[in-house]
Structure 1
Amino acid sequence: MDLIVARAINLRLAARQPAAPPGKVGMFIENGEQGQRQIMLWDNFAEGRWEPAVAGLRRVTCGLIMSGFTGDEWEAAKRGVAADLNHRMADMSKVANVDLAKELSHAVADGRYLIPPDELLRYAESMSSQMDARSGNTWWRHQWGSGLEHFRVEAPELAKVTDPVASIRRAANEAIASPRCKVH
C-alpha cells in the first residue's frame, strides 16, 4: 500500500506543477526505529516563493483528507508501481553487490525483510484487485491522521519575520476553506 499511495501522491503533486523538473515536489514514507512513520511531502520552491509552496502542499493534503484519491489516480499509481517493479525485476542481476549490501543493511536496521523485486511484483499482482481507491483512502486517512503534522520551511526571508510560525500557519490555512484541514 505504501508504494501505491506514495506514487498516487507524487503523481498528484507533479500534476499541480507540470513544468517543474523531476524531484522539485514529492512524497516519501520513512519507517523509524521505534515503529513510528514519517510521511514527508516537499516542494523545493524558488527563493521568495515559500508561501505558494506551503499553500500548494496544504491544498494537496486537504484534498486527500476531504475527498481522497480518484479511481483514475489510483489506477495510474498501480500501473506505475507495477512498471517499476517489472523494471527492477528485469534489472535484478545487474545490481552491484555494494548496492545490494546497502539495501540489506537498511532492511536489517529497520527490522524488516528485504523482499526481492520478483517476489514483491508477484505479491503486488496478487493483491492488486483488493487495493482500490477506497482502501487506499482509508489507509491514507489512518496514516496521516495518526501523527502530528509539522511544516518545515527553510527560507532566509523568514529570519526577518517577527513570528515565522504564525506566518507559516497563516499561509497554510489561507489556502483552504475546510475547518477540518486547518493547521493549529
Structure 2
Amino acid sequence: MKKSNSILMIIVIVIIASLIVWKIGIPNLSSKNKEISSEKVSKKVKKESKKIKKKETRESKSSSSTETSSSMESEPSSESSSESTSSVQPSVKYPALQKYAGKTYYAVDRDSAEVPDMFPTSFTITSDTEALNVDGKQELIRNVTSDSGFIALTGEMGHSMGTTLSFEFRSLGGSDSDAVEVLNQGQRLAYSTTMPE
C-alpha cells in the first residue's frame, strides 16, 4: 500500500510539475513567436523601403533639372544660411578660386603684349575649381597659392606658358572679379569677362 501510495504521489507531483512548466513555457514560446514574426515583418518593411528608395533615386536621376530645382525650393526654409553654405562648400576644391569659378575671362588687347603667345586668348576656372581651361585645353589644378596679391595655380601637364602650368592672376578693382590681370614671367595682361569685339 505504501509503495502504491508513494508511486501515486510521485505521479501526481510529476503531473503538477509538468502543468506548471507547461503554463510557464507557453507564454514564453508565444512571446518568442511574436518577436520572431515582428522581426520578419520589420525586415520585410526595410527591404520594401530600400526598393522604394532605389526607385525614387532612379526616377529623380531621370527627371529634368527644373524638377530638381523645384524640389530644392520645397526644402524647409528654416535652415540657416551657414548650413546652406556649408553644404555648397565641399563641391569647391579651392575656396580661393570660388569667386572666379565658372566665368570665362578674355584677353584685353592681347596683341599689345611683347610676346602675345605667352598669354592665352581666354581661360576658365571650372565651377568645382578642380581644373583650368586655357584656350579650350583642360588642365587639372594641382596646387593654389596666394602670394603678394596674386593667386598662383600650378598643374602637371606642359603648356605654352611653360613646361608645367604656372598661372598667376589677381583681381583688378578690389573685390570685382569680372576683371583680372594675368602675370607671366614678369609681363602682365588684363582679362575681362566681356568678350572683346
Do both share a fold (TM > 0.5)?
no
TM range (shorter): under 0.3
Bigger RCO of structures 1 and 2 (CA < 8 A, at least 6 apart): 1
TM-score, normalising length from structure 1? 0.21
TM-score, normalising length from structure 2? 0.19
Higher strand share: 2
